[in-house]
Structure 1
Amino acid sequence: MFTGIVEEMGTIKSIRKGSHSAVLEIQAKVVLEDIHLGDSIAVNGVCLTATSFSPTSFTADVMHETLNRSSLANLRPGSRVNLERAMAANGRFGGHIVAGHVDGVGTVLHTEKDDNAIWYTIGAEPQVLRYVVEKGSITIDGISLTVAKVTDSSFSISAIPHTVAVTVLQDRKPGDTVNLETDIIGKYVEKLLTPQEQPIQQPKSGITREFLSQYGY
């Protein structure tokens, strides 16, 4: 689990592409301080597993499904990415519950300066927007942000200068694709409140009155 509080921006050092997969080598510093093989690291909001590391970088496999459902397929050597280690049990919970499982991608429609803040309007599909609520939480490229406005086809957030300065938001411009993860709590609530189409069939017991009588009960 992550919190959406980006620890640092890393840089894509190399990409080794397979037929339907890829291996990313990411140059970093902070996330390498206590790294171990198998650690989970969110890369632009996508939970990846560290498969090797050096003093200056780590590698992670990206499978076919992840490439299809996220913007990681658009990365190139030199691209900057948001990085966050999995939340420590004794750490501060500064953002919101982030699973690192991207729901889909959105497109930056436009940006607008507003005094000391910058507005980003993101276009998204209905299946993503149904879980986006005003004043609720949204993860954009791994950044925990507050939704300021929602329409039928987009939502907007207002980012403070610090957030823009320390994340890849500073690189995002109209037309760019971003990873989106909605608040997982809303999805669980919807699932629990949706009646099942078919009642769950309990397995039939082999214990009957005749069975018990036969064996002396």
Structure 2
Amino acid sequence: MFTGIIENLGIVTHLESELDNLHITIESQLAPELKIDQSVAHNGVCLTVVKIDGNTYTVTVIKETLNKTNLGDLQIKDVVNIERAMKLGDRLDGHIVQGHVDQIATCTKIEEASGSWIFTFNYNQDLNNITIEKGSITVNGTSLTVVNSKRNEFSVAIIPYTFNNTIFKFLKEGATVNLEFDVLGKYVKRLLELDIK
């Protein structure tokens, strides 16, 4: 379980394909604090640490995850958002994030506002995921509040701290991002679909 509050930025140092899997090695200040078998979110995707070597660690991404996320697009020197799983009893500063990406989206517009940035994303509505105005959304692992919610599009407002301490500062129009929709909203939507009395 995560909160969507990014702890650190990691740099991809090595990529290795093995059958349908992709092993990603990342350099991070957090590496010496990690343990083998620990869950860490990378751009919002929960992955298991399988190797640690000094200031780098390795995670393995399986085909199912590669098919549903943007991790397969990573290149050497790319920067990723990193968050360790929350500790029981910690403050939940973001919102409840599972690290299970629902789908990808495309950044369609970036606007500078007075002291902030507005990022707009378009996603495939056929997967029946929804956003609501002022609801929570996770974009590349970052807990954000939805503005301008539409059927297949939404925007988020990024404050300077978030912009400077996440990969939002590197995001360009046309970039692909990982989305995890609010888990509470997903349960409500599913209950309505089942028409449970």
* Cα distance in 1 for residues equivalent to 2:160 and 2:141: 17
Name the residue aligned to 1:171.
170
* Cα distance in 2 for residues equivalent to 1:127 and 1:99: 22
Name the residue aligned to 2:7.
7
Structure 2 counterparts to residues 57-206 of structure 1, below 5 A: 57-127=56-126, 130-195=129-194
Residues 40-95 of structure 1 show CA distances to partners (whole Å, capped at 9, x for unaligned) of 00000000000011220110000001111000010001000000000011222110
SS for the counterpart of 1:170 is helix
Which residue identity does 2:58 align to in structure 1? Answer: T
Q: CA RMSD in A?
A: 1.5
* Cα distance in 2 for residues equivalent to 1:128 and 1:185: 17
* Cα distance in 2 for residues equivalent to 1:126 and 1:93: 29
Structure 2 counterparts to residues 16-35 of structure 1, below 5 A: 16-30=16-30, 32-35=31-34
How many angstroms does 1:194 deviate by? 3.3
Residues 157-197 of structure 1 show CA distances to partners (whole Å, capped at 9, x for unaligned) of 11001101000001101110000000011111222333379
* Cα distance in 2 for residues equivalent to 1:159 and 1:147: 11
Name the residue aligned to 1:211.
none
How many angstroms does 1:27 deviate by? 0.4
Assess if the C-alpha contact under 8 Å between 2:130 and 2:151 holds in 1.
no
How many angstroms does 1:17 deviate by? 1.2
Which residue identity does 2:20 align to in structure 1? Answer: H
* Cα distance in 1 for residues equivalent to 2:17 and 2:195: 42
How many angstroms does 1:38 deviate by? 0.5
How many angstroms does 1:129 deviate by? 6.5
Name the residue aligned to 2:54.
55
More divergent stretch after superposition (12-21 vs 73-82): 12-21
SS for the counterpart of 2:46 is strand
TM-score normalised by the chain length of structure 2: 0.95
* Cα distance in 2 for residues equivalent to 1:112 and 1:196: 41
How many angstroms does 1:125 deviate by? 1.1
Which 4+ runs in 1 deviate beyond 6 A?
none
* Cα distance in 2 for residues equivalent to 1:157 and 1:128: 21
Q: Which runs of 5+ in 2 are unaligned?
A: none
* Cα distance in 2 for residues equivalent to 1:196 and 1:153: 24
Assess if the C-alpha contact under 8 Å between 2:36 and 2:50 holds in 1.
yes
* Cα distance in 2 for residues equivalent to 1:195 and 1:68: 27
Identity of aligned pairs, percent?
A: 37
Assess if the C-alpha contact under 8 Å between 1:129 and 1:154 holds in 2.
no
* Cα distance in 1 for residues equivalent to 2:127 and 2:144: 15
TM-score normalised by the chain length of structure 1: 0.86
How many angstroms does 1:25 deviate by? 0.3
| Number of positions where the alignment pairs a residue of Structure 1 with one of Structure 2 | 196
Which residue identity does 1:9 align to in structure 2? Answer: L
